[in-house]
Amino acid sequence: MEPLKLYMLLLGCTLPGRHTEQHDVFFGIARKVSDLVPDMKAFWPEAGDKLHVDGWREVNRVGNYDIAIVSRDEAIENAEQLYFLNLGGYKPGEMEEFHYKMLRVSKDIGAAIREAKETAFYKHTTFDTATSHVDDKYGVDVDDIVPVKDILPATIRAQYQLKITPAEASAQEDELFLGYFQLHKL
């Protein structure tokens, strides 16, 4: 039997009454990505049969840390947390807010934000009156930042938790799967 894995998926759909495709990020735990289809549909019920996946990854490694799924009953001590950040930024002459989604393992939100502000995206999508940003409620410039454990579906949080451990130097980065994926073909 395959082990449980944390998945990060970029969901997309064009909702009725909208002119452009909308996107959201979904996190789930399963043995294979196709097992998450019912949870994705429950996460975004308004999307109906228009819901699709534009990209996904198994989250096994983030930076210098391995991410594993363990039972909620297992005693673990994570000094660090896995954070999801959604950076927003602008480019001169383009009517668009660009976004960069990233995962960071850090001791706290402040450290994760400081790391995000060092990315090329953050530095290259800022000009005079339009700065790259992180949500104002954290007093800095980032659209959204949240511990991944807090945005997993409630049924998953009740059963499992994330175990974060230092990675071997030779461990591989996670593979990204990009494109238009219909749910029934995952």
pLDDT digits (tens, 9 = 90+) for 70-98: 999 999 988 899 999 988 888 888 898 88
Mean pLDDT of 60-65: 94
Over the stretch 159-182, which tens digit does the pLDDT of each residue have?
A: 999 999 999 877 788 999 999 999
- Cα 92 to chain centroid distance, Å, stands at 27
**Whether residue 46 has pLDDT greater than 60:** yes
DSSP for 102-148, please give it.
EEEEESSHHHHHHHHTTSHHHHHS-BTTB--B--GGGTSS-SEEEEG
Per-residue pLDDT at 36: 97
Give the least confident one: 19-33, 45-59, 107-121, 146-160. Answer: 107-121
**Whether residue 140 has pLDDT greater than 50:** no
Token pair, residue 150, equals 């807090």
Mean pLDDT of 39-48: 95
Per-residue pLDDT at 99: 85
- The residues, any chain, with a CB within 8 Å of residue 82's CB and separated by 6 or more, are 59, 62, 65, 67, 103, 104, 105, 147, 148, 149, 162, 164
